Amino acid sequence: MDEQPVELGRRPDPVDAPPAVPVAAPRRRAGGRGGLAGLASAAVNAQVTRRHPVSLVHFVTRRCNARCSFCFIDFDNPSPKSAELTLEEIERLTRTTGPQLRNVNLTGGEPFLRGDLTEIVRAYYRNAGVQSVYITSNGAFPDRVEALARAVATEFPDRSLIVSLSLDAFPAEHDAIRKVDGLFDKAVATYRALRAVGGNVTPNVGITVSHENHQTVPDLYRALVDDYGIRAVTAIIVRDEGVYEVPEADRAAVLDAYRWLTSTIVEDQRSGRLEGYDEATLLGRLMNRKNELLWDVVADTYLDPHFVSTCYAGSLFGVVDTDGTVHPCEVLDRPIGNLRDVGMDLGALWRSEPARSTATWIKDSHCNCSYECAWGFNILGNARYQPQLLAAALKR
């Protein structure tokens, strides 16, 4: 554990997105492809071969109606709509993701600015066979979100849709942070509309802990749960990325607020005050424990970046950028290649020499960071965490 941290490069053209995409999926029924055979195949891929991606983050747009201070997009150099992958290109992409893809996180920018987002979701369900789609949104478009959710509930009742809505402060301050009047109220309205859809549709609220809200996080959390009736909460800690840097004077306080928030979420999930994965199922208990381990690792490495365990970005996990460039993760400046150069064939790109060499470099260099999405799959795919995961899964 005493290896020196690797100096990570930054992508020169950061995408428009929150600092991290949450990986928890409250109330979700954790499942897999093909019953026991599918789970066995998934376990071999995750633990042994690591040949196929299990999860992708897909930035479907860089456009956004908000201007969050902690976002890592460079608003002085906007990316045009014309750079986005078309629906036809995404259809082709989703037919080449491989046999083990379980989840895709659709993010941006604001994903619901794409008028074809419902079709994109359909493509991932139908063509890629994913079990869950996770969409990160600022909640500014309740009608669009509800329409997509109702389509999924009707057409794909055996799959999961999770919509994570960002709420970082009380109404006036939240709107000021994200620079959109009325955004807090719209996000709450979106959450309630999704709760009304129910079934396989799960909304949660993601709180990004930053230098702007760390002092009010406990009060905000209590208000969301007690006054607004929020039943599922995830936590993200802001990180240096692109054009944003965490003020040095605030780092320790930001971490303290994140630790408080994540530990409180765990306590409230255990007591039933909040919803998490279904504790009545073995896989649900495993996934809840995975999130607890993830939050602990992120907190322990935030102020003191250091190697903890092997990262499987570029093996089990990857990022598809708005223009089709594929990265192992959001942080590392080592693009694997562009899908448009290989006929939108992700499998071919994943098997390419640049992909193999990048995955090898990540492992050999002890590359490390506090990126929550990658950490979720590092924990699931690393033998060192399996005893804790299995103990939680088998607990009655």
Q: Nearest Cα to 303, choosing from 240, 379, 217, 213?
A: 240
More reliable by pLDDT, 313 or 71: 313
Question: What distance in Å separates the CA atoms of residue 235 and residue 218, rounded to the nearest whole number?
Answer: 12
Of 5-9, 135-139, 244-248, 273-277, give the lowest mean pLDDT range. 5-9
More reliable by pLDDT, 66 or 134: 134
Of 170-174, 340-344, 377-381, 384-388, give the lowest mean pLDDT range. 377-381
Which of 288-297, 327-336, 339-348, 379-388 is modeled with the greatest confidence?
A: 339-348
Bridge partner residues of 199 (DSSP): none
Q: Is residue 167 scored above 70 in pLDDT?
A: yes
CA distances from 369 to 30, 39, 241, 300 (A): 27, 29, 11, 11
Each residue's pLDDT tens digit, 69-112: 766 666 566 566 778 999 999 999 999 998 889 999 999 889 99
Whole-number average pLDDT of the chain: 85
Residue 371 confidence (pLDDT): 82
Residue 332 confidence (pLDDT): 87
Residue 389 confidence (pLDDT): 84
Amino acid letter for position 393: A
Each residue's pLDDT tens digit, 191-244: 999 999 999 999 999 999 998 899 999 999 999 999 999 999 999 998 776 556
* Backbone phi, psi, residue 263, to 5°: -65, -35
DSSP 45: I
Averaged pLDDT, 138-158? 97
Which of 53-57, 106-110, 149-153 is modeled with the greatest confidence?
A: 149-153
Q: Under a CB-based contact definition with an 8 Å cutoff, are residues 139 and 183 in contact? A: yes
In angstroms, the first-to-last Cα distance of the chain is: 33
The dihedral formed by the CA atoms of 134, 116, 326 and 25, expressed in degrees to the nearest 10: 0
Confidence of residue 21 (pLDDT cuts 50, 70, 90): very low
User: Per DSSP, which regions of the chain are E strands?
Assistant: 55-59, 103-107, 132-137, 160-166, 201-209, 233-237, 317-320, 325-327, 337-338
Handedness of CA 224, 229, 234, 240 (dihedral sign): negative
Q: Under a CB-based contact definition with an 8 Å cutoff, are residues 124 and 76 in contact? A: no
- Coil, helix or strand for 105? strand
Q: Among residues of the chain, what percentage have pLDDT more than 90? A: 61
Q: Is residue 276 scored above 90 in pLDDT?
A: no
Question: What distance in Å separates the CA atoms of residue 148 and residue 141, rounded to the nearest whole number?
Answer: 11
Residue 75 confidence (pLDDT): 58
Residue-by-residue DSSP string for 107-135: ESS-GGGSTTHHHHHHHIIIII--SEEEE
Q: Identify the residue whose tokens are 């322990």.
A: 300
Each residue's pLDDT tens digit, 229-239: 999 999 999 87
